[in-house]
Amino acid sequence: MKSPFYTAEHDAFRDVMHRFVEKEITPFAHEWDEAGEFPRALYRKAAAIGLLGLGFPEEYGGIAADQFMKIVASQELAQAGAGGVSASLMSHTIGSPPIARAARPEVRARVLPQVLSGEKISALAITEPGGGSDVANLRTRARRDGDHYVVSGEKTFITSGVRADYLTVAVRTGGEGAGGVSLLLIEGNTPGLSRTKLKKMGWWASDTATLHFDACRVPAENLIGEEGQGFKIIMQNFNSERMGMAASCTAFARVCLDEAIAYAKERKTFGKPLAQHQVIRHKIVDMAQKVAASQAMLEMLAWRLEQRESPVAEICMMKNQATQTMAFCASEAVQIFGGAGFMRGIKAERIYREVKVNAIGGGTEEIMKDLASRQMGL
């Protein structure tokens, strides 16, 4: 679809991304999903085309990128129909921004080049077994002891949690509430850190873990920002994370649409192709309508962000719009495929299993509605 927001530079990067996904991910997506992981070598390959560095400071190996370049990256990755690969491969986009924004210069210089080159893996650890989006009430404790913090507690549902080399961890250094929350960079080989791999409904190729911190000693220089400022830094992450999820979900919906169209033209029932049955044509039009509306909303919000606006309410609504579109299109695609849609191996089946993680991750639909209503003054 033509759009006035994309330049020749965006189109050139789209071509690079398309070739990368077509060669390095799509042929292996089913195999990696069944195996429950993908090769670490993929990180270096992604770094080589500039994917990992998008939007990070150039002095650390990053590449200047606007909102539309990030949309291109997210939506081309989605063409493989492998959300687990996308989630873990890009976990640094939520784990490393706080480092780039607020860590000490020597920490940034040591960590970011390793992550952006694909040598090391970065993850964000906020959610706890006793609470998801309620960041202000997290319980993992970091007690100052000389030139170290001693960290005890648990985090769960952590994307790339199994093999992350660097963990950006939300901890409580002070009293109750948001003012007592800080961020620490904890290295993966820290004594006292253990990890439990989790089995999931979808995103099988993405390693997801519960992290256990048993009196882990973390150098005080690994504090990201100031003590008690962690909540603010975490909140700064959310707009970007939700826009990224919205871009991906809209693209996953389009993948379902495209796969359903191709199958409906090929599959014959009652003496004619599925696509010649009115009910199937109507399903496909409904899917296409929702995808087009979601893409238009996404691009308009990206433009507003480029104008330095902060449309928080609309971004929350965008996240819900995209995940609902993905859910609708995945369901309809599987229905159009019939029995074949229930078999593992096609993109629509894989995407159907991944609907709920997107509706939950980054804030549930209910939380998005509550945040949006508050921004609207309700």
Q: How many helices (H) and strands (E) does the chain have?
A: 14, 10
Question: Which two structure tokens, joined as six digits, stand for 309?
Answer: 């606006």
Strand, helix or coil for residue 272 = strand
Give which of 165, 184, 187 is closest to 230, Cα–Cα: 184
Residue 284 to residue 277: CA distance in whole angstroms? 11
DSSP letters spanning 150-207: EEEEEEEEEETTTT-SEEEEEEE-SSSSGGGEEEEEEETT-TTEEEEE---SS-TTS-
Write the DSSP symbol of residue 346.
B
Q: Is 241 designated active site? A: yes
Active-site residue (options: 24, 76, 128, 241): 241
Cα distances (angstroms) measured from residue 25 to each of 46, 83, 211? 10, 11, 28
Q: In degrees, to the nearest 5, what angle opens at C-alpha 202 toward C-alphas 198 and 205?
A: 70
Q: Which are the catalytic amino acids? A: 241
